Amino acid sequence: MPTLWVADMARERLGFSLTITSAFRSESYNRAVGGAVRSQHLANTALDLIPSKGRVKQLYDQLIAMRKGGAFKGGVGIYSSFVHVDTRGKNATWGKR
């Protein structure tokens, strides 16, 4: 639930829609999609989000700003077509910026 709250806050601040492409994953599904062994998706604390109109960097920057502002502690990763966000309780950042 906290991760969904973070995504919704980002959506509201940015003013455009986000599509959730991955949330909770079972261990077998996580293996099938090549997920990390300790993926936050397994703990239901992660979302992969595609912003409307390809605004990947804008979403990433908003999540980083929110995290810096104390809205959450967790991971933010940027990929070519989506952004990963999680509420693992400690900060982690990865991907091309």
**Domains in the chain: boundaries:** 2-94
What CATH number matches the domain at 2-94, 3.30.930.10, 3.40.50.2020, 3.30.1380.10, 3.40.50.150? Answer: 3.30.1380.10
> 56 near 81, Cβ under 8 Å?
yes
In the chain, where does DSSP find H-type helix? 2-14, 27-32, 56-68
> 34: alpha, beta or left, given left = phi > 0 and alpha = psi -120 to 50?
left
- pLDDT score recorded for residue 97: 63
Query: How confident is the model over 23-62, as pLDDT tens digits?
Result: 999 999 999 999 999 999 999 999 999 999 989 999 999 9
Percent of residues, the chain, with pLDDT higher than 70:
99
Residue type, 49: L
For residue 38, how far is the Cα from the chain centroid?
A: 15
